[in-house]
Amino acid sequence: MSRLDPPRVTRRSFLSIASLGSFFAAVGTAAAGLFRLPNPAVLPGPVRRFKLGAPEQFTPGSETLFAEENLVLFRDDDGFYAISTTCTHLGCIVSRAKQGFACPCHGSRFDDRGNVVGGPAPRPLPWLEISRAADGQLVINADNEVPEGTRYRV
Amino acid sequence: MATATREFIRNLHDLPHTVKDAWFRLGKTPESEREESQATFHSLFLHIHSVRVHVRTLSPTLTFGLGLMATGTFLITVVTGLLLMVYYKPSTDLAYQSIKDIHFTVYTGRFIRNIHRWAAQLMVLTVLLHMARVFFTGSYKKPREFNWLVGLGLLVMTLALSFTGYLLPWDQLAYWAITIGSNIANSPRELTDAIGITRWMDPGGFQKRLLLGANYVGQDALIRFYVLHVFLLPVALVTLLGVHFWRIRKDGGLARPEDPMGGKAEWGGAHRTVFEPIPTKTYGLMALVRGQRPTVNRGPENTVMSWPHLFWAELAVFMVTVATTLVLAFYWDAPLKELANAAIPENPAKAPWYFLGIQELVSYSAFTGGLLIPVIVLAGLALIPFLDRRSGGEGMWFGTAGEKPVFRYSLVFAALVTVGMLVFTVNFGWLRNWFPDVHQMWIIIFNPGSLLVLIFAAWSLVVLKRQDSVRLAAVSLFTCFLVSFTILTYFATVHRGPNWHFYWWPSYWPVH
């Protein structure tokens, strides 16, 4: 046997390497498993479906700010649409500017349809899904986004 | 009378003396060096110091006591934090009211809260300055690479402690700063959205959920931040702090140039000749530490007894720290805005001052400014001692040749570049203002923040080539980032107003 031959793996060293390996695998899995607990299975929070009122309350060409719900409801000749006022940059609430929307935190600018025209925001303001409740009121589902330009016709 | 009774009465009579002796085991002020060393190593709290300390270590202008100040401010926050925990209630319904109670009703509550706040601010400041001191004195070099990494860990812990503490008052400032902060954790989504893989891989969303326990800042977020702030992070920080101190001892005290063999001692007068080791003699088991320091083949000439020299110095630093904190806390109150309101953000919503530099970068791109650049900077800092491996100049400000000029040039260069970039951005905007339809990927890659990083990297490569020294390249890069960080912090503090617009002075802000 020359010096260059790889050393023979004895049963003892094989078993100790294997047991050490399984030990570290178990510790690693357990450590990763610890992160399962703080990762919430159910996201708490209020229901983000809002009843905004009967469609007749909103005249064509009007826009109504719902501050608590963080959205603006528009009605034009084609129908209703709602734009979220939560900035897509870092979650501040945009306010209505002379033209479009402006974010107070980092200066993002959006036009009247929510498209980014300046600042760091990566995406346009989301358009939200509109439906009607059984009593005829408009309902906004703020968790569901619809493509820009989608109108809800009464 | 029985002997036992007599003995009992005598012991009772001696009680004041015996109890005093148990507490003060030496029984008097140490008079000889032997007694001084006993005073040091017979006390648990003093024995983390060596018995003798090098005179250079005691030079105020070597360290400015910054590490000690950081420790002092941390101890202050621990004591005042425990007191605040007596009244604070981590619930969204009660938190704000309990802070108001502490501030307006609880006896000394306002003062204690102010001290907590100011000590936390000073801790961030002194930790940053301490890091700059260690860098510019070349004290991270072998064998102190590991302790440099531990120090970086402590910097991260300090910032995390400060960030988690920010939410607890549950006022407008807290709510919106944490909304922004947690959305920065969410900002990898900017990248995954731009590539279009968020549906399958969403590390940003995972980080945000882990931090907030929800999709918004609410009760779950508050309790998580509370646990991090009052338990997990302090315990982790104390552990790391122990390692940090332990390594200082094991690495042979503070970094300093080697004492020359032979010649005159720096301290102790002309009658002290420098120790010449006898080759056959072995010098004590205490010397079994890394490297040659502190005692192998080294004489005690340039050292003084830790008791009293070092302890007086440390006491003085602690007193200055406490006094500064008390004065600041006495005159300036910790802020408390209105109750958190999810419908109306603060305008401007500003992070604490040490995050404002990052907030300025975030206003270009959330992912690049909030995560990518901080991670690059931390990684760069961590790599310094492993890329700059040549010894020399340890323990001296700008210790190797050419460091001062490189520092000065880099300072001017970084200041010009940063100010130029800010002037340009304020006047002309950036990609989105010129090409509204530009793909987000371009903004993530190419924005004022990433451009600054690239320019500084190029500058330090030029220094590397021209000066032919890794240390000088490191000095130039470190200086650039330090200067840029300072300017960005100043700019975002003073010149950014409502809607993150530029104003010359906060008094020009529009009035609502």
Report residue B208 as tokens: 């945000």
Strands across the sheet containing A127-132: A49-53, A138-146, A127-132, A79-84, A71-76, A63-66
Out of B210, B215, B344, the one facing A45 most closely (by C-beta) is B215
Contact B2, B10 (CB under 8 A): no
C-alpha B439: how far from its chain's center? 38
The DSSP bridge partners found for residue A63 are A74
Helix/strand/coil for B328: helix
Kindly determine whether residue A91 and residue B183, on different chains, have CB atoms separated by under 8 Å.
yes
Contact B211, B221 (CB under 8 A): yes
List, for chain B, all residue ranges whose pLDDT scores fall below the cut of 70.
260-301, 512
Name the packing angle between helices B353-362 and B145-167 (round to 10°): 90
Kindly determine whether residue B342 and residue A107, on different chains, have CB atoms separated by under 8 Å.
no
Tell me which chain B residues have a C-beta less than 8 angstroms from the C-beta of A67: 343-344
Alpha carbon distance B154, B223 (integer Å): 23
Res B278: pLDDT: 56
H-run or E-run covering B303: strand B303-305
Alpha carbon distance B210, B192 (integer Å): 18
Q: How far is A92 from chain B (nearest CA, A)?
A: 6
Buried b / exposed e along B205-229 (16+ C-beta atoms within 10 A): bebbbebbbbbbbbbbbbebbbebb
Alpha carbon distance B225, B179 (integer Å): 13
Delimit the domains of chain B by residue range: 51-256+275-346, 347-512
Tell me which chain A residues have a C-beta less than 8 angstroms from the C-beta of B180: 90-92, 105
Q: How far is B473 from chain A (nearest CA, A)?
A: 33
In tens, the pLDDT along A53-84 reads 999 999 988 899 998 889 999 999 889 999 99
Q: How far is A9 from chain B (nearest CA, A)?
A: 35
Kindly determine whether residue A68 and residue B343, on different chains, have CB atoms separated by under 8 Å.
yes
- Which one of A35, A105, A111 would you mutate to disrupt binding with B, by most B Cβ within 10 Å of its Cβ? A105
Res B54: pLDDT: 86
- Position B246, amino acid: W
State whether the Cα torsion B207-B212-B213-B217 is positive or negative. negative
Tell me which chain B residues have a C-beta less than 8 angstroms from the C-beta of A35: 210
- Minimal-distance CA residue of chain B relative to A89: B366
Alpha carbon distance B160, B171 (integer Å): 19
Res B25: pLDDT: 82
C-alpha B294: how far from its chain's center? 27
Tell me which chain B residues have a C-beta less than 8 angstroms from the C-beta of A72: none
Tokens 């002379």 locate to A98
Flag whether residue A46 sits within 8 Å of chain B, measured between CB atoms.
Answer: no
Out of A44, A102, A122, the one facing B190 most closely (by C-beta) is A122
Q: What is chain A's pLDDT, residue by residue, as a tens digit (154 residues)?
A: 566 777 778 899 999 999 999 999 999 999 999 888 888 888 888 888 999 999 999 998 889 999 888 999 999 988 999 999 999 999 999 988 888 898 888 888 899 999 988 888 989 999 999 999 999 899 999 988 999 989 998 7
**Residue B437: closest CA among A127, A111, A154:** A111
Helix/strand/coil for B240: helix
Tell me which chain A residues have a C-beta less than 8 angstroms from the C-beta of B500: 103-107, 119
Res B194: pLDDT: 86
Alpha carbon distance B94, B82 (integer Å): 18
Buried b / exposed e along B151-172 (16+ C-beta atoms within 10 A): bbbbbbbbbbbbbbbbbbbbbb
- Residue A123 belongs to some domain of the structure: yes
Long-range contacts, B400-406 (Cβ 8 Å, 24+): B400/B138, B400/B469, B400/B471, B400/B472, B402/B467, B402/B469, B402/B472, B403/B136, B403/B471, B403/B472, B403/B475, B406/B463, B406/B467, B406/B472, B406/B475, B406/B476, B406/B479
H-run or E-run covering B453: helix B448-467
Q: How far is A103 from chain B (nearest CA, A)?
A: 6
Tell me which chain B residues have a C-beta less than 8 angstroms from the C-beta of A118: 429, 432-433, 436
Tell me which chain A residues have a C-beta less than 8 angstroms from the C-beta of B501: 107
Res B93: pLDDT: 94
**Residue B313: closest CA among B65, B32, B38, B43:** B65
Query: For residue A76, what is the domain's CATH number?
Result: 2.102.10.10
Contact B274, B263 (CB under 8 A): yes
- Minimal-distance CA residue of chain A relative to B180: A90
Alpha carbon distance B81, B100 (integer Å): 16
Kindly determine whether residue B210 and residue A107, on different chains, have CB atoms separated by under 8 Å.
no
Tokens 């270590």 locate to B57
Long-range contacts, B128-135 (Cβ 8 Å, 24+): B128/B155, B128/B354, B129/B64, B129/B66, B130/B66, B130/B67, B130/B69, B130/B70, B131/B155, B131/B381, B132/B478, B132/B482, B133/B63, B133/B64, B133/B66, B135/B384, B135/B478
- Residue A136 belongs to some domain of the structure: yes
Kindly determine whether residue B440 and residue A122, on different chains, have CB atoms separated by under 8 Å.
yes
- Residue A125 belongs to some domain of the structure: yes
Separation in Å, CA B65 to CA A5, B59, B61, B68, B144 = 58, 9, 8, 5, 19
Pairing label, strands A79-84, A127-132: antiparallel
Q: What DSSP character marks residue B498?
A: G
Range of the domain at A90: 49-146
- Minimal-distance CA residue of chain B relative to A104: B499
CA-atom Rg of chain A in angstroms: 28
Flag whether residue A107 sits within 8 Å of chain B, measured between CB atoms.
Answer: yes
- Residue A31 belongs to some domain of the structure: no
Alpha carbon distance B348, B334 (integer Å): 18
Tell me which chain B residues have a C-beta less than 8 angstroms from the C-beta of A43: 209, 214-215
Q: What DSSP character marks residue B53?
A: E
Out of A45, A107, A116, the one facing B214 most closely (by C-beta) is A45
Give me the helices (H) in B3-89, please.
3-23, 33-41, 55-58, 60-63, 66-85
Kindly determine whether residue B210 and residue A39, on different chains, have CB atoms separated by under 8 Å.
yes
Flag whether residue A90 sits within 8 Å of chain B, measured between CB atoms.
Answer: yes
Tokens 């399958």 locate to B200
Alpha carbon distance A62, A76 (integer Å): 7
Tell me which chain A residues have a C-beta less than 8 angstroms from the C-beta of B363: 106-107, 119-120
Res B414: pLDDT: 97
Contact B496, B503 (CB under 8 A): yes
Domain count for chain A: 1
B51-256+275-346 CATH: 1.20.810.10
**Residue A88: closest CA among A47, A116, A63, A117:** A116
Alpha carbon distance B493, B495 (integer Å): 6
Out of A91, A104, A120, the one facing B364 most closely (by C-beta) is A120
Out of A39, A103, A118, the one facing B432 most closely (by C-beta) is A118
Which residues, 6 or more positions from A131, have their beta carbon under 8 angstroms from its beta carbon?
A138, A139, A141, A152
Report residue B235 as tokens: 């315990």
**Residue B77: closest CA among B119, B33, B106:** B119
Q: SS in 3 state form for chain A?
A: CCCCCCCCCCHHHHHHHHHHHHHHHHHHHHHHHHCCCCCCCCCCCCCCEEEEECHHHCCCCCEEEECCCCEEEEEECCEEEEEECECCCCCCECEECCCCEECCCCCCEECCCCCEEECCCCCCCCEEEEEECCCCCEEEEEEEEECCCCCECC
Kindly determine whether residue B364 and residue A44, on different chains, have CB atoms separated by under 8 Å.
no
3-state helix, strand, coil in chain B (%, to 5): 65, 0, 35
Which residues, 6 or more positions from A47, have their beta carbon under 8 angstroms from its beta carbon?
none
